[in-house]
Amino acid sequence: MGVEEPRESSPSEIYLSKPWLKNYDEGVPHDIEIPNKPLYWILEESASKFPNRSALVFYGREVSYMELLDKARRFATYLKSIGVDKGDVVGIFLPNSPQFAIAFYGALMVGATVSPMNVLYSPREIHHQLSDNKAKVLVAIDLFKDKIVAGLPDSVEKVLWTGIQDFLPPLKSFLYKIFKKPPKPPSGGVHGRFMDALKSEPISQGVEVDIENDIAALMYTGGTTGTPKGAMLTHKNLLANVLQIDAWFKRGVKGKDVFIGVLPWFHIYGLTAVLNSGVHKAATIIVYARPDIDEIMKDIQKYKATVFHGVPTLYRMIINHPKVSKFDLTSLEVCISGAEPLPKAVAERFMELTGAKLREGYGLTETSPVTHVNPIEGEARYGSIGVPVPSTLAAIADPEEDRILPQGEVGELIVSGPQVMRGYYNRPEENEKVFMECCGMRWLRTGDMAKMDEDGYFYIVDRKKDIIKYKGYSVFPREIEEVLYRHKCVREAAVIGVPHPEYNEYPKAFISLREECKGKITPEELIEFARENLAPYKVPKEVEIRDDLPKSGVGKILRRVLREEELKKRVQEPS
C-alpha cells in the first residue's frame, strides 16, 4: 500500500488557518465574546462602577462619568419630546467636546442613528451628508454658523446650537466670550440651544436595541477616493471593535487609564479608539477641540497620560517640536498610529523620547475601524500593518475576481469579522462591488493592495486606485514615499501619477521640508536621492516642494487633492 503524498493547502486554507495567531501576545484571546448590549451600555457600566471619576477633561472643566450619563439621558428625553424615533438620524457637527459625547450617547439611548460630520466641511458637503441620510436633528457648533446654515437641507427639523464656551470652566468661559466673541446663532423656528435641551428630566433607561441590525452610526468615508458614502455600522460592529482593541491592549483593570483625545471623534478612528474605548475602560479622556502640540505635551505630563492614538503627522510634530525635551512624556505606555504609513525613523525617535510602545495598525471606516495591529509586546515589523485582531479573518484576493490568491502574492486585502459594516447606506450598486462571497462567508474588499508573509504579518502595498501605470510597470506610490522619508530633510511626502501621452502616467512627488532645510535643498537633489534607492522606472520624474500638503480632518495626506490640482493645472496650461 503506497504512502499518500501530503496534500498542498489551497490558498484559502492558508488564510483560514490563521497563521498570525502564533504571533499574538500572551493573554490575547483568539476570539472575543460580544455581549447582547447596545453601544451606550459602555457608558452605563462605567458610570455605575466609577461615578465620580473624571470621564472628560475639557480645558480644565472636568465631567464625571455620572454627569456624562445624566446629561446623555437628559438629551435622550429631549429627543423623544420632539419626536425622534428609533432609526431617525441625528447629525453632529462638533469638534471634540463634552457636547459631542453627550449628543452621541444620548441619541443612541432613543435608538437613533448618529451621523458625525467633519467640521471642515463646506456648505456643499454639509448639504450632501444631511440630504443623503435625511437627518432629522443637527447638533452644531456656533463657530461655523454661516456655512452650516448655508448647507442645511429642508429635511432637518431641529438645529441645536452650542459653543466651546458652554463647557469651559467659568473664568475661561467668561474670557472666551470676551476675546473670541463667538457668533450668536439663529433662534426660533427650527433653531434652539443645546444647553436648554439638557434641562429635560433624564430618562431612566434607553430603548431596546437589536445589536445585529440596528444602525448606531452612519460614518461617512473620508472621500479620499471620491464622494463620501455612509457606512452603516451597527451597535454590534462598534461594540465588537471596542472589545477587540481592549483585548489587544490587555489594559487590565478599568478606571486607571488616561487617554489623549486629540483624534477627531467625527472620524471613525477617534470615535472608536478614543471616545468609545476610553469610556469602556472608564478612562479619563483629555479632550481637545483642535490639535495643539504644546497643550498635548503639557497635559501628558500633567495628567500622566497612558494611551495615545494618533497619526504619523502628530508623532512627527511631537518629535520635531523645539520644546519636546522640556516635557516628561514617560507616563505614556501604549501608542497606536493609523490612517497612513508610520515611518520607522519617526516611531523609533518617539519611543526613545517616551519609553512607550508605538505600534502601527490598520483599519477602515467600513470596519469600525480596526482590523490589524502590530503586537504590543511581541515583534513589531516596520512597514507592516501587523496581524488581524481577535475574531478577524484577512486574506489576499484577486482584485477583479472573487478568488483568494496564494500566500506571498500581491492582491486586494479582504477582511471578515464582527466589526465589518452592514453596507453603504442607500448604495446597493456599491455594496455589490465592495463585498465578495468565498469559503462560505462574506468578505469586505478594502481597496488596498497588500500581501501577507509566511508568519501572518500583512503589508499594504498601496491603494488600488493609486497605483501608477508607467510604461507597463505597476509603480506603488507608498514605496517611493518610504524612500523619500529616509532623506533627512523630508518632513512629508506624497506621490501621485501624472497623465502622459507616451508613458500613460509617471510618478510625481510632492514634498514639505523640515524647517532647517527650507531653501537649502532642490527638487533635483531629491530626485537624485530617489534614483540612488529605487529602480529607474520608480524614480519620480518631478518633485514639487510645498510648505504643507493637503490633509483630511484626521491628518491623512490626501493624494486625491494633489491629483485634482495637477489635472486642473494641466488642463489650464496652453498646449
Tell how strand 458-463 and strand 441-452 pair up: antiparallel
Q: Output the pLDDT for position 572.
A: 61
Q: Output the pLDDT for position 440.
A: 87
For 174, other C-beta atoms within 10 Å of its C-beta total 12
Report the C-alpha gap between 230 and 238 in whole angstroms. Answer: 15
Q: Note the Cα 68 to chain centre separation in Å.
A: 24
- The verdict on whether omega for the bond into residue 369 sits within 30 degrees of 0, i.e. cis, is yes
Q: Output the pLDDT for position 224.
A: 41
Among the residue ranges 138-147, 335-344, 485-494, the one predicted with the least confidence is 335-344
For 231, other C-beta atoms within 10 Å of its C-beta total 27
pLDDT of 223 higher than 60: no
All three cell numbers of 93, joined, read 457637527
Indicate the residue type of 71: K
Average pLDDT over residues 181-195: 91
pLDDT of 214 higher than 50: yes
CATH number given to 467-572: 3.30.300.30
Name 554's Cβ contacts closer than 8 Å, sequence gap at least 6: 222, 263, 264, 267, 269, 270, 311, 339
Domain residue limits, the chain:
39-208, 467-572
pLDDT of 162 higher than 60: yes
Burial 308-334 (b: 16+ CB within 10 A, else e): bbbbbbbbbbbbeeeebeebebebbbb
Confidence of residue 501 (pLDDT cuts 50, 70, 90): confident
More confident residue, 8 or 238: 238
- DSSP E strand stretches across 194-263: 215-220, 230-234, 258-261
pLDDT of 314 higher than 70: yes
Q: Collapsing DSSP states into helix, strand and coil, what is residue 224?
A: coil
Distance (Å) of CA 338 to CA 183, 262, 386 = 35, 13, 11
pLDDT of 574 higher than 70: no
Q: Note the Cα 571 to chain centre separation in Å.
A: 34
Confidence of residue 9 (pLDDT cuts 50, 70, 90): low
Confidence of residue 575 (pLDDT cuts 50, 70, 90): very low
Specify whether domain 39-208 bears CATH 1.10.3720.10.
no
Confidence of residue 225 (pLDDT cuts 50, 70, 90): very low
pLDDT of 2 higher than 60: no
Q: Enumerate helices (H) and strands (E) in the chain, giving the number of each.
A: 18, 27
Confidence of residue 222 (pLDDT cuts 50, 70, 90): low
Q: What is the pLDDT of residues 114-153, one digit of tens each?
A: 999 989 888 888 999 999 999 999 999 999 999 999 999 9
Report the C-alpha gap between 104 and 532 in whole angstroms. Answer: 51
Q: Output the pLDDT for position 251.
A: 79
Q: Collapsing DSSP states into helix, strand and coil, what is residue 563?
A: helix
Residue-by-residue DSSP string for 407-436: TT--EEEEEESTTS-SEETT-HHHHHHHEE
Confidence of residue 8 (pLDDT cuts 50, 70, 90): low
For 213, other C-beta atoms within 10 Å of its C-beta total 11
For 472, other C-beta atoms within 10 Å of its C-beta total 8
Which helix (H) or strand (E) element contains residue 280? Answer: helix 277-280
Mean pLDDT, rounded, of the chain: 91
For 237, other C-beta atoms within 10 Å of its C-beta total 28
Q: Output the pLDDT for position 495.
A: 93
Q: Output the pLDDT for position 133.
A: 96
Alpha helices in 344-499 (DSSP H): 344-354, 428-434, 477-485
pLDDT of 100 higher than 80: yes
Average pLDDT over residues 54-81: 98
- DSSP E strand stretches across 355-503: 357-363, 370-373, 387-388, 393-397, 411-416, 423-424, 435-438, 441-452, 458-463, 468-470, 473-475, 490-500
Among the residue ranges 292-301, 350-359, 413-422, 433-442, the one predicted with the least confidence is 433-442
Question: Percent of the chain at pLDDT above 70?
Answer: 95
Q: Output the pLDDT for position 84.
A: 97
Q: Output the pLDDT for position 281.
A: 97
Residue 295 class from Cβ within 10 Å (0-12 exposed, 13-18 middle, 19+ buried)?
middle
For 65, other C-beta atoms within 10 Å of its C-beta total 25
Instruction: Put residue 255 in one of left, alpha, beta given phi > 0 → left and psi -120 to 50 → alpha.
Output: left
Tell how strand 504-513 and strand 490-500 pair up: antiparallel
Residue 573 class from Cβ within 10 Å (0-12 exposed, 13-18 middle, 19+ buried)?
exposed
Q: Which long-range CB contacts under 8 A does 524-528 form with residues at least 24 apart? A: 526/484, 526/487, 526/490
Confidence of residue 299 (pLDDT cuts 50, 70, 90): very high
Whether the CA torsion 313, 291, 336, 355 is positive or negative: it is positive
